[in-house]
Structure 1
Amino acid sequence: MLMVLEGQSHFLPCGVPYWGFETLNNGGSATVPYDYHIGVDYHKSYSHLVVQDGTGRTLRSGRVKNDRHSIAAFLDRYRDNSHAVVEATRNWMVIYDWLAHPLKVKAIADAKIKTDKIDATVLAHLLRADLVPEAWAPSEQARELRLALRERMFYVRLRTMVKNRVVTVFDRYPEQTVRLKKLADLFGKTGRKQLAELPVSPIDRIQIDRSLAFVDDINARIKQSEATIRALTRENTNVKLLKTIPGIGEFFARLIDAEIDDIRRFRSAKKLAAYAGLVPSTYASGGKTYHGKIIKQGNKWLRWAFVEAIGPAVATDPQLREQYERLKPHGTNKARVAIARKLLTIAFQLLREQRPYEQRGHNGQGCASTISRLS
C-alpha cells in the first residue's frame, strides 16, 4: 500500500496511514495503476469498507470499528499498491487521503436505495474508474484556524440570539420604552442602566437580568477565542496583507486566509470567485446563454466575509463608493455582488504578489488606480 505521511495529522490517531498520491493535492494526476481500490463510507463510530481489484470484483466488504487496530487488520493484506477514497463529510479529517467532493459524488452516485455497503461500493467503483473529483485537503494550520474562527462565530451568533430575547421583552412595554428606543446601543453602559430601571413584570425582570448576565459570559468567551485566533496568526504575513484592503479588518482577514489556505491552488481570480460562490448561475439552451443570481454552491464563509466587507469598504474607499453608486441603479444586489467580487479580486492579487494594497489616484488624478489595475 502506498503510504504518504504528511507530518502530524488528525488521520493518524485512528491508526490508519495515508493512502493515495501526495502529488494530487499539489496539482498532480493519478496515472499509475493500482492493484486495490478502497471505498470508505465513514460514520461516527464505524466505517464500511469495500476493497475491489482492477476488474471491479469486490475482494472484501464489511463494517469496521473506527479504531487503530480494527481498520489496520481489515486492510492488512491490501496494503501494497492501493489507494482509498472517503466522501467529504463532517469530521472527514479523522480518516482521509483522497476526498470525494460530496455534491459531485452524490450527483453521480444517487440511488433510491442507500446503504453503507452501496455507498462504499460506488465510491470504490468511481475510484477504480478515476472518476472521483478530488477535494482540497486544507493544511493542519488552516484547519486549526478554521476551528478557532468558527468557535468565535458560534459565540457571536449565540450572543445575538440572547440579545434578541431581551429586545422581545423590551418591546412588550412600548409606553415605558420610548426613551430607550433612541439609544444607539441598548446593551451599552447607558442602555443597561435604563434597562435595570425599566418597570416590568417580575418574570420579565428575571429574564432580562439572566439574559444580560449570559451576554456578559458570552463576551468573555469571545475575548478568549479572539486571543486564541491571534496566537494562531501572530506571524501570518497574509493576514497583514489582507488587512490593508478596504473593509477587511482583523477577523475577516484571518477568516479569508484560513478559507483560501494556499492561494496557489487557484489559477486566476475567476477560479477563486467560483470557489467563493461569487459568480452568476448560467443557463444555456438553444444556443442562448442566460445569467442569473449568484450560485448557491461554494465556500459560504468566504462569500460571507467579502459580502460583509462591502459596507465599510464603500464607506472608506472613494473609488469603490463611486463604482457602487454607478451600479446601484441596476439593482442593489448586483452592485453589492460586484463590489464583493472586486474585493475578492484585490485579495487574490495581493496574496499572489505578496504586497499590500495601496490606493492610488482618483478621478484621473495621480497614478492609475490600484483597484482598476487589480481587477
Structure 2
Amino acid sequence: MQYIAFDSHKRYTYAVVEDPGGNRIMEQRIEHRKGELATFLAHYEPHSPVALETIGSWYWIVDEIEAADMEPKLVNARRAKMMLCSSKKTDRLDARGMNTLQRAGTLPTVWIPPGELRDIRELFRTRMVFKQQVTRLKNRILSCFSKYGISFDETTSDAFNVKGRAAVQSACSMLPVHTKESVMQLLAQLDGTNRAIAELEARMREVGSQTPEVQLLQTIPGIGPILSHVIAYEIGDIRRFASARHLASYAGTTPSVHASGGKVRYGHAPADVNHYLQWAFVEAANCIALRHTFLKARHVAQLYARLRATKGHGVAVGAVARHLAEAAYWVLTTKSPYKEPQHARVNTVVSSKKG
C-alpha cells in the first residue's frame, strides 16, 4: 500500500506519493483535465488511500479516484491544519502533511455521500438558493415603494399574495418613471424565480422517494414535505453521528464556546458546518415561531416563548433549531415518530389541572 495526497485547486492538483515508511516516491503538479488524475493514479498500487481536502469542486476528483480503483479520503481541512500546527503553507507542505496524518492514522476525514445522493442534493440546494433570491427580490421591491412613502400594511397582510400583488401593480403608477421600470423588472424576475422553484419542486417530488426516514422526519413539528427531504438527503446515513449532540453541531445549531478564567461566552456557530442542514432546521424553527401561539401545547412552542421573553427572538429560534436537530437524530436512530419530551407533557398536564 502507498499513501497519496492531493492538494487540489481550481486548475491543478499537487500530488505527493509516499511509501509506508514516509519515503517520497513522487511529487507532481497535475493540470485539471478529465481523466488526468485517474491516469496518474493508475501507476500506483490499487486500493491505496488518497487524501483530498474538502474544496468546492471535489465531486469529480473523487469520481476520478474511484475510477482508478483507489480509496478516496475526504479531509476536514481546518482540523488537518490545526493538527499539523504549521505556520507555513504551500501546496507541497499541505500534501506532505496529509500523508503524515495518514501514516499516523489520525487523518480527520468526513463522510463521502454516494454519487447518486450528491446528484439529487443539487435539486434541494438550488431550491434553497432560489428561495433566498425570492426574499431579496421582495425586500428590494418593498424598499422601492417605501422610499416614496407607499406601504401595503393596511391593504393586505402579504404584499405578494393575490390581493397584495394587485395592490402592488396598482401602486406602480405612483412611482417615478425610472423607479417604476425598476420595480416592473424586479416583479418579472420574482415571477421567473417562483416558476423555477415550482419546476424544481415538481422534479423533487418525482425523484425524492417517500422513504421511511422522510416520513419519520415529518412527524417533527415544523418539518414538512420539502424540509424533510432536505434533511434526509443532507444527513445521509444517520449512523455516522455518534450522538444527537454531534448531529446538532454538524448542522450548525450549536453555538461556539469560549471559556477562560472562569468566564464562558457563547458565539455564533462555527463556519465549517453543513449550511444546508442549518438552513433547514432554522427554517423549521421560524415556522414554529410564526405559529407558536397556535402550538402552545407543544414543547417547541413553549421553548420558543420562554426564551424569546428573556433572550430575544434570535436566541429562541436557535434553541428550537437545536432541539429539532436533536429530535431528527432520535427519530432516525430509533425509527419511531417524534414524541413530546416527558417534562413538557408533565407541564402541560399540570397546567390543564390548574385551569
CA contact (8 A) 1:42 1:87 kept: yes
Partner of residue 69, structure 2: none
Partner of residue 267, structure 1: 242
Partner of residue 37, structure 1: 3
Partner of residue 31, structure 1: none
* Alignment equivalent of 1:52, drawn from 9, 18, 24: 18
Question: Helix, strand or coil: the match of 2:78?
Answer: helix
Q: 1:101-124: CA deviations, max 9, x gaps? A: 021123234655533333222222
**Aligned-pair distance for 1:306?**
2.1
Question: Helix, strand or coil: the match of 1:337?
Answer: helix
Between the aligned partners of 1:81 and 1:356, the Cα distance in structure 2 is 41
CA contact (8 A) 2:152 2:159 kept: no
Question: Helix, strand or coil: the match of 2:56?
Answer: coil
Identity %: 32
Between the aligned partners of 2:319 and 2:207, the Cα distance in structure 1 is 32
* Alignment equivalent of 1:142, drawn from 117, 133, 138: 117
Between the aligned partners of 1:81 and 1:218, the Cα distance in structure 2 is 45
Q: Report whether the alignment pairs 1:86 with 2:86.
A: no
Mapping 1:98-109, distance limit 5 Å:
98-109=73-84
TM-score, structure 1 length as denominator? Answer: 0.78
**Aligned-pair distance for 1:128?**
2.3
Between the aligned partners of 2:280 and 2:46, the Cα distance in structure 1 is 45
Q: Report whether the alignment pairs 1:354 with 2:335.
A: yes
**Aligned-pair distance for 1:48?**
1.4
Q: Report whether the alignment pairs 1:256 with 2:256.
A: no
The Cα RMSD (Å) is: 2.7
- Unaligned runs of at least 5 residues, structure 2: 63-71, 351-355
* Alignment equivalent of 1:167, drawn from 116, 134, 142: 142
Partner of residue 24, structure 1: none
Partner of residue 189, structure 1: 162
TM-score, structure 2 length as denominator? Answer: 0.82
Amino acid at match of 1:292: Y
CA contact (8 A) 1:46 1:64 kept: yes
- Unaligned runs of at least 5 residues, structure 1: 1-33, 367-375
Q: 1:336-369: CA deviations, max 9, x gaps? A: 3333222222222211122223559564649xxx
Between the aligned partners of 2:308 and 2:116, the Cα distance in structure 1 is 40
Between the aligned partners of 1:64 and 1:312, the Cα distance in structure 2 is 48
Number of paired residues?
329
Q: Report whether the alignment pairs 1:201 with 2:191.
A: no
Partner of residue 305, structure 2: 325
Partner of residue 276, structure 1: 251
Q: 1:195-238: CA deviations, max 9, x gaps? A: 33332222122112221111111111000111122222233221
Amino acid at match of 1:44: K
Q: Report whether the alignment pairs 1:339 with 2:320.
A: yes
Amino acid at match of 2:281: F
Partner of residue 126, structure 1: 101
Amino acid at match of 2:44: Y
**Aligned-pair distance for 1:68?**
5.3
From the superposition, tell whether residues 202 and 277 of structure 1 become closer, same or farther in structure 2 (CA, over 3 Å): closer
Question: Helix, strand or coil: the match of 1:77?
Answer: coil
Between the aligned partners of 2:285 and 2:323, the Cα distance in structure 1 is 10
Amino acid at match of 2:76: H
Between the aligned partners of 2:297 and 2:310, the Cα distance in structure 1 is 20
**Aligned-pair distance for 1:178?**
4.9
Question: Helix, strand or coil: the match of 2:186?
Answer: helix
